[in-house]
Amino acid sequence: MNRSFAHVALKLLALIVLAVLLIAAATAVSRWWHSRGPVQKAAATAEQLERGRTLVLAADCAACHTADNGAPFAGGVPLASAFGTLHGTNITPDPEHGIGRYTADDFFDALTKGKARDGHPLYPAMPYVSYRRMAREDSDAMYAYLMNRPAVNVANARNDVNFPANIRTFLHGWKLLFARRDIPASSQGDSAQWQRGRYLVDTLGHCGECHTPRGVLGQLKVDRTLHGNADFGRFAVPDITPAGLAARGWDAATLHQYLSTGVSPRAVASDEMLKVVNLSTSRLAPADVEAIVTYLLGDRAPAPTPFAVAAATDDAPARRTYFDLCAGCHGRDGEGVPNVAPDLRANSSVREANPHNLIVAMLDGLPVHDLPGIARMQDMPAFGEELDDAQIASLATWMRQRYGGQDAVVDASAVRELREADSH
C-alpha cells in the first residue's frame, strides 16, 4: 500500500516538474519571439506631442522612470515594497531596453492591462489598476510623446523580489482577483470640473496607489480609497478624503497653493510628495490643478476644522527643549522662516491625529527640500541620538497641543516602536 502510494506521488511530482519546465520553456520562447519585430516610429504633430507631454506629467511617469541623476525616462528608480524592491523600467524609444518595438496597442495594453509586449504580466508597481480607465486617445498621445524623445540605451535594473512573488506566473491570479475592480469616488460631485478631477486623481495621477491602504496581497483596499496608508514607507501617507483634509484644516486655496508650489500654510511637500509636486502637479495647467482640488474636496467642500494656537504654557521641559533645539529655525513661537523651516502653527504634521510623521521627522531629520522655482527648505537635523524616547514624546505632545489642537499625549512606546523599526 505504502509502496503504491509512493509510486503515485512520484509520478505526480514528475508531472508537476514537467509542467513547470514546459511553462518556463514556453515563456522563454514567447519572450524571444516577441522581443523580435520592427522598431516602431510614431508620427505626431506638435500639438499631439504637447498633449502627450501634459498627460505624461499628469501621470507622473518620471517619478518611477527617471532615476536621480539619470537620463529622463531611462528607468532605474528603486521602488520598495513589502515583497521586495522593483525598479522602474526604461520607457525611452530604445529598441533593446526601452519601448522602441512597442506599438501603440502594446503600450495601451501595458498601461491598462499590466501586460508587457512579450506577454509577461507586469508587477502592480506599474499602476495599471488605476490606469485601466485611461482613455485610448490619452494613451496614444503619451505613446507618441515618449516615442519622439531621445532613445537611451540603458539596461533595466534587475528586480529583487522575494519568493513566491518573484514567480510572475502568480501575477495572472493576482490580476484576476484585484486588477479589474472599480475604484469608487472618494468625494461627492457631478460637475464637469469634478469629473475631470476624478480622472486626474484616480486614473492619470493614480493617487490611490500611495494614499489607499493595501491588503496582505498588496491589493488596494478600494472600500477605503484615499484614506491614507501607514505602511507605505518610513513616513505615513495621509488621508486625503474630504473629511480627512478638512480635519487638518485644508481648504481649496491651501490645496491649490500646495499642489502648485509645494508650500502652503498647512504643509511643505516632503518625501515622495515632494517628487510628485516637482515632477507633476507644479507643471500642470492651473485649470487641471483646480479640477484636482475640486475632486479631492467634492463639489460641496466641507468647511475646514477651525483651530487657534493655544495660549502660551508654562516653562515645561518640552517647551525648553523647543527653545533649545527648534526655535532657531521654526521661530520663537512656531511661525517658521521662509526658505528655512515651515510654519508649525496649524501645520498638518502637528494637526494629524496620528503623530507618526512628526515623530519620524524628529528621529530621522529631513533633507534639504528643493521646491519648484528657487524655493527651498533647509535640512532639519535628526534628534534621535540626542533625545530619548520620553523626551521626544514630551516634545511631540507639547507641539501638538500648542500648534495642532491635539490634546492626546504621545506615548514613549510609540517613539520606541518607530525608532526600532528604523534599525531593522
| Residue 313: per-residue pLDDT | 61
Q: What are residue 161's DSSP bridge partners?
A: 84
Q: What are residue 321's DSSP bridge partners?
A: none
End-to-end CA distance of the chain: 50
Burial of 57 (0-12, 13-18, 19+ CB in 10 A): buried
| Residue 96: per-residue pLDDT | 93
The DSSP secondary-structure symbol of 316 reads -
**Which residue is it, cell 518625501?**
271
| Residue 33: per-residue pLDDT | 65
| Residue 49: per-residue pLDDT | 96
Burial of 245 (0-12, 13-18, 19+ CB in 10 A): buried
C-alpha cell at 116: 508587457
| Residue 6: per-residue pLDDT | 78
> Which portions of the chain are predicted below pLDDT 70?
1-3, 27-28, 30-36, 311-315, 423-424
| Residue 168: per-residue pLDDT | 86
DSSP secondary structure string, 90-121?
Answer: P-SS-TTTSSTT--HHHHHHHHHH-B-TTSPB
| Residue 34: per-residue pLDDT | 61
Query: Which residues, 6+ apart, have CB-to-CB distance to 153 below 8 Å?
Result: 94, 96, 97
| Residue 71: per-residue pLDDT | 97
| Residue 11: per-residue pLDDT | 84
118: left (phi over 0), alpha (psi -120 to 50) or beta: alpha
